[in-house]
Amino acid sequence: SGDGEVQYCPALLHLDLCSVLFAMMHHEFADRDASEHSDSKQFLLRVLVEFMAEDPNETYAQNLADSKRRALREWIQQLCGRMQVDSGYDDLLEEAVKFDGIICGEIQVGGVKKRTKGRRHKSRSRSSGSYS
């Protein structure tokens, strides 16, 4: 509307969140059972579908023009197409759960840098001199 207000789409914001969370599950929690991840991913994707259903006329795929997210854009196009004709889409959700590269894109390839729990600080010795 030209007033400087930033507009966002809840579905795309949630999709970005899914990308980060899927990548974290893949990299930081790789030692966990895959079924734990599957349930969480299914839940996140079902929430995505609910957001998309709230605004079915939104052109979600066109907002993913980045070449690094081509697989995601194609997946979203398929999902939107099936949602518009009330066709089943469980197989698409399952595909996204099994293949992290669809949702994660380049995040999965590049990896997520692990954060350390707390920082180690070198003890600083104070000089015995005085400051003026």
pLDDT tens digits for range 3-45: 666 567 899 999 999 999 988 888 888 788 878 889 999 999 9
What pTM was computed for the model?
0.71
CA 44 to chain centre: 10
The amino acid that residue 120 corresponds to is R
Domain boundary assignment for the chain: 10-110
The terminus-to-terminus CA distance of the chain in angstroms comes to 57
* C-alpha span between 72 and 40 (Å, rounded): 19
pLDDT tens digits for range 64-116: 877 788 888 899 999 999 998 888 999 999 999 988 788 887 554 444 444 45
